[in-house]
Amino acid sequence: MPAGLNVVILAAGQGKRMRSRLPKVLHPLAGRPLIEHVVATARALKPARICVVYGHGGEQVPQALRGDGLIFVKQQPQLGTGHALAQALPHLGSAGLTLVLYGDVPLIGDETLAAMIAGGGDRLTLLTAELDDPSGYGRIVRNRRGSITAIVEEKDASVAQRAIREVNTGIMVLPGARLGEWMSKLSNRNAQREYYLTDVVPLASADRVAVVAVKARTPWEALGVNSKQQLAQLERIYQWQRATRLMDAGVTLADPMRLDVRGNLACGADVRIDVNCVFEGEVRLADRVEVGANCVLRDTEVGPGTRIEPFTLVDAAKIGANCRVGPYARIRPGTRLAEDVHIGNFVEVKAAEIGARSKANHLAYIGDASVGRDVNIGAGTITCNYDGAAKHRTVIDDDVQIGSDVQLVAPVSIGAGATIGAGATITEDVPPGVLAVTEKKQVVKPGWKRPQKK
Ligand code: UD1
Ligand code: CA
């Protein structure tokens, strides 16, 4: 990329039609604010600097993006796109090129932008699109020789101009050397009393600077978000792209329309994903992993051959090879499952390591625990890890059998090979190899009558 590339992201507008207090560019697409997608694409071009022009919503935009090399420029009040770019001028210098992006046009691709920049030099490059319904956009006006002479905003357009289907996406590349002069010449004599950036077109023509139109590589790249409906449409396009890439890499998706990736999903060979799964943050699925319907996996690694059964939530966990997790399991942060572990329905695991071949198949809570190998944890067993003030650990050694409905009152440890009888409340350490029970005597009352309904 040219050494002197500046990127300016316009993001000061309110976005009235979102009907929200949140600035428009902070609404999430695939789990990240719209503007973060634009910043990421801008970074891929390796520009000399990136300026973000913000305004509406106070400091929320700079706070959400927090730094790393971005230059924030406040535009207050917001007097139009030309006025917005002019605010960034002091940071741009007069060398190289300035690329203008919109904070609410999130799917713009770096290849399209690279093609716009490649023209370089002393020209004005516009990203345009041919739309069936051009309403709301600025129209590209060309003369008889086909040269672009103006961009006319809909509110300023004649009936004939409104019929033009070639529109301005707003994204453009301007020559740095002309920028200061052109900005100083913009006026607000138009229907909206705004300083229109689009008025650089006649200024370029007057300076005999070529005005060039580039079309986006894909039709959706130039789509902007103005309403919740458009946000939802772009979300589906984005997710379709992710699904397509996964399928191209060999992943089997039961339905590519019913997948949501909000972050990065890396898959090995022969991974199968059923419908309505959500992947957040960094998720890695090894070879032959199967994810059942309606699962949510966040910041998680899953080992080869493991099956995540339907309706399972996994958050910040590491799951080994050939495990079975779910259905209806909740795996919380800090969980480490070794290989061949079975975690069944309505089992919650938190900050626990569980050794190879161990099982907790039904209705249990395993929190702040170390569980060895070949352990079986019965239904209804609970680690009582919290005394009201602090959390305590439970240690269960290899080959332990824990009956149903056991309370393990931490801190407590169970020695290898021990057996805990059903219904026990374990408050002291259990030595290896023994049977521990807490005896409650069964009482039989002959002749007792069950109350009858009247
Ligand atoms: C603009 C273009 C129009 C184009 C359309 C594409 C102008 C005059 N018109 O119109 O030709 O078809 O985008 O969507 O440029 N912004 C600021 N400060 C301001 C005003 C806007 O930062 O004072 C930002 C907004 O946050 C937004 C972008 O600029 O990211 C576009 O603003 P918007 O008001 O949506 O422009 P349009 O009227 O749609
Ligand atoms: Ca707009």
Residue 450 covered by a domain: no
For residue 281, give its domain range: 228-436
Ligand index nearest the alpha carbon of residue 138: 1
CATH of the domain at 218: 3.90.550.10
Residue 115 reports pLDDT greater than 70: yes
432: left (phi over 0), alpha (psi -120 to 50) or beta: beta
Ligand 1, CB within 6 Å, residue ranges: 10-13, 53, 75, 78-81, 83-84, 102-104, 137-138, 151, 153, 167-170, 196-198, 224
Q: How are beta strands 32-33 and 28-29 bridged, if at all? A: antiparallel
**pLDDT-above-70 percentage for the chain:** 99
φ/ψ (deg, to 5) at 44: -60, -20
Q: Indicate the number of domains in the chain.
A: 2
266 in the same domain as 212: no
Q: What is the DSSP string of 143-207?
A: -TTS-EEEEE-GGG--HHHHT--EEEEEEEEEEHHHHHHHHHH----STT----GGGHHHHHHHT
Residue 442 covered by a domain: no
Mean pLDDT of 286-303: 98
Residue type (1 letter), 345:
N
160 in the same domain as 101: yes
pLDDT of residue 251: 98
Interatomic CA distance for residues 199 and 97, integer angstroms: 18
315 in the same domain as 172: no
Interatomic CA distance for residues 198 and 75, integer angstroms: 18
pLDDT of residue 121: 82
Write the pLDDT tens digit of every residue in 169-179.
999 999 999 99
Residue 449 covered by a domain: no
249 in the same domain as 187: no
Residue type (1 letter), 48:
A
Mean pLDDT of 309-327: 98
300 in the same domain as 429: yes
429 in the same domain as 322: yes
259 in the same domain as 133: no
pLDDT band of 68, cuts 50, 70, 90: confident
324: nearest Cα among 104, 335, 284, 310? 310
Task: Read off the DSSP letter of residue 311.
Answer: S
Residue 127 covered by a domain: yes
Residue 446 covered by a domain: no
Q: Are 394 and 413 in contact (CB under 8 A)?
A: yes
Q: Which helix (H) or strand (E) holds 259?
A: strand 259-267
Interatomic CA distance for residues 6 and 73, integer angstroms: 14
pLDDT band of 1, cuts 50, 70, 90: very low
Could you tell me which residue, 67 or 173, shows the higher pLDDT? Answer: 173
The best mutation among 75, 81, 107, 156 to test binding of ligand 1, ranked by most ligand atoms within 8 Å of the C-beta, falls on 81
Contacts of 359 (CB under 8 A, 6+ apart): 341, 342, 343, 344, 375, 376, 377
Residue 3 reports pLDDT greater than 70: no
Q: How far is the CA of 170 from the centre of ligand 1 (A)?
A: 7
Residue at a domain's end among 222, 245, 260: 222
Residue 343 reports pLDDT greater than 50: yes
The answer to whether the Cα torsion of 25, 26, 28, 29 is positive or negative is positive
Residue 137 covered by a domain: yes
82: nearest Cα among 210, 189, 215? 189
203 in the same domain as 234: no
Local structure of 352: helix, strand or coil:
strand
393 in the same domain as 268: yes
What mean pLDDT, rounded, does the chain reach? 96
CATH of the domain at 405: 2.160.10.10
